[in-house]
């Protein structure tokens, strides 16, 4: 069971029961799934390498590299990476409350400012953490912010456009979604990485308090013009302090935009808890956060379930691997902690009871069987033998990948954003060299053709400046 990465195509079925489709993209499908051994539900992002041209398949690892690096309470957790010949599977934490876009659409005129600042502070906190690790997201938008109702927080997801950057060095890749992209990205200029995320934060805050994007016109050409002119209107119900913070982020000149430190210290955000998730036990980002007794119980359960032996489990945890061993450990540990929290410290939860039963049996394999078979845990805490939900069909509507989404409760003319620019997420070399030539991998949704784009860029470039 050790070393799921590089396994055959069929092996995913033995590790996870794939259920209905949650979202689709050009190269990826996101499935609801159940981890066979623990019964915990996860999201599985399935990336079809056969649909990617040239070097694009290798560049998908950039998303994985960044997600492994940014382990934060307000970032969707990556549990496991399964790399096969034809597909790459990312096993992700499952959001239970839909995405922020749908939430905004259910509140005509935007959210009340106290609620909006509660969510916005968490997004800023997560991006600040990413930037400190020199990771830029480059596709910040409400569709990529997910609600976790059980944990009471929001989290960033979809790091498909993310990349590493070196402070002071400019990036060149044009990527992201039109309505949320900074002017310098749309112009194809070199750009300061943190500044483009800050522009997108300004768009998100505007949407939270106004209920619609600041730059979304009847067609892409008009939207581009509004962005380049930095022309938007703040409704009168928005407070002066909130409007001031928006204006500090939506600055045409990236050098004039507020820094993350200035955003976090702004008057409008004072008195707000920036990350309530940081005081929660879940999700686990390190095995060292469980007690020695809990650690031992988890090890016993995994060994008895033929996941791996003690030394192999310990080695995988210490090396911070993202294989089925560590995924099983963390999902099992989180289930234990969740039950512990729900019972307010009561120790006789399912996991404890089952572990004690395991230790008392002479033939331990009778309790668990192999991890490739139906596991001992089901979603509601039942033992093996309980019925499993059959795989379902696709849910209706176009939805972004990576999260469990809900259909909007109200009709709206505002549509979810899809990336309007080329995806040219270069995979950096080990020495973190600057990004190079464009990739063959693209995400397109803009109705603006190339001739229109070139004409628009020529009209908006400063005098005397030639095209690159």
Active site residues: 139
Q: Coil, helix or strand for 14?
A: helix
Angle at which helices 310-318 and 292-304 cross, to 10°: 120
Q: Are 110 and 116 in contact (CB under 8 A)?
A: yes
- Asked if residue 406 belongs to a known ligand binding site, the reply is no
Distance CA 183, CA 107 (A): 28
- Tell me the DSSP string of 238-281: S-HHHHHHHHHHS-SSGGGSPPHHHHHTSGGGTT--S-GGGGS-
Structure tokens at 143: 């569709």
Q: Is 419 in contact with 176 (CB distance < 8 Å)?
A: yes
State both tokens at 209: 């308090």
Could you tell me if residue 351 is left (phi over 0), alpha (psi between -120 and 50 degrees) or otherwise beta? alpha
Q: Which two tokens stand for residue 202?
A: 């300004």
Rounded Cα distance between 354 and 374, Å, is 16
Q: Containing H/E element for 21?
A: strand 16-24
What span, in angstroms and rounded, lies between the C-alpha atoms of 208 and 154?
13
C-alpha to C-alpha distance for 282 and 152, rounded to whole angstroms: 11
Bin 98: left if φ > 0, else alpha if -120 < ψ < 50, else beta. left
**Rounded Cα distance, 121 and 251, in Å:** 20
**Cβ–Cβ under 8 Å, residues 99 and 147:** yes
Q: Identify which of 331, 336, 315, 277 has the alpha carbon closest to the alpha carbon of residue 80.
A: 331
Instruction: Kindly report the backbone phi and psi dihedral angles of residue 224, in degrees, each rounded to the nearest multiple of 5, phi listed first.
Output: -60, -45
Binding residues: 45
Binding residues for ATP: 45
């Amino acid at each position: 069971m050790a070393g799921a990465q590089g396994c055959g195509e069929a092996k995913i079925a033995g590790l996870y029961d794939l259920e209905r489709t949650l979202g689709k993209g050009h190269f990826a499908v996101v499935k609801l799934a159940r981890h066979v051994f623990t019964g915990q539900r996860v999201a599985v992002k399935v990336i079809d390498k056969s649909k990617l041209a040239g070097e694009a398949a290798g560049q998908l690892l950039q998303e994985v590299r960044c997600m492994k690096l940014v382990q934060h309470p307000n970032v969707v957790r990556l549990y496991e990476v399964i790399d096969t010949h034809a597909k790459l599977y990312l096993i992700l934490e499952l959001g239970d409350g839909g995405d922020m876009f749908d939430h905004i659409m259910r509140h005509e005129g935007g959210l009340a400012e106290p609620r909006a600042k509660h969510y916005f502070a968490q997004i800023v906190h997560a991006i600040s953490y990413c930037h400190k690790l020199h990771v830029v997201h480059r596709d910040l938008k409400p569709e990529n912010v997910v609600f976790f109702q059980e944990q009471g927080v929001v989290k960033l997801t979809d790091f498909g456009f993310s990349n590493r950057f070196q402070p002071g060095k400019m990036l060149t890749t044009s990527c992201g979604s039109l309505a949320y992209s900074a002017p310098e990205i749309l112009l194809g200029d070199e750009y300061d990485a943190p500044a483009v995320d800050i522009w997108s934060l300004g768009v998100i805050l505007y949407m939270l308090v106004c209920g619609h994007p600041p730059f979304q016109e009847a067609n892409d050409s008009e939207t581009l013009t509004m962005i380049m002119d930095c022309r938007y209107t703040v409704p009168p119900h928005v407070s002066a302090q909130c409007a001031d913070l928006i204006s500090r982020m939506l600055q045409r000149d990236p050098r004039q935009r507020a820094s993350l430190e200035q955003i976090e210290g702004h008057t409008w955000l004072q008195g707000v808890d920036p990350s309530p998730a940081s005081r929660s036990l879940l999700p686990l980002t390190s095995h060292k956060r469980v007690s020695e007794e809990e650690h031992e119980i988890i090890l016993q359960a995994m060994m008895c379930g033929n996941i791996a032996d003690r030394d192999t489990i310990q080695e995988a945890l210490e090396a911070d691997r993202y294989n089925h061993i560590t995924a099983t450990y963390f999902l099992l540990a989180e289930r234990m902690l969740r039950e512990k929290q729900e019972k307010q410290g009561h120790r006789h939860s399912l996991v404890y009871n089952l572990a004690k039963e395991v230790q008392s049996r002479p033939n331990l394999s009778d309790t668990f069987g192999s991890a490739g078979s139906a596991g001992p845990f089901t979603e509601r805490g039942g033992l093996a033998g309980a019925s499993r939900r059959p795989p379902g069909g696709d849910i209706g509507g176009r939805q972004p990948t990576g999260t469990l989404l809900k259909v909007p409760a109200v009709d709206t003319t505002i549509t979810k954003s899809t990336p309007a620019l080329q995806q040219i997420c270069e995979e950096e070399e080990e020495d973190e060299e600057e990004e190079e030539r464009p990739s063959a991998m693209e995400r397109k949704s803009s109705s603006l053709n190339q001739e229109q784009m070139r004409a628009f860029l020529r009209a908006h470039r400063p005098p005397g400046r030639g095209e690159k």
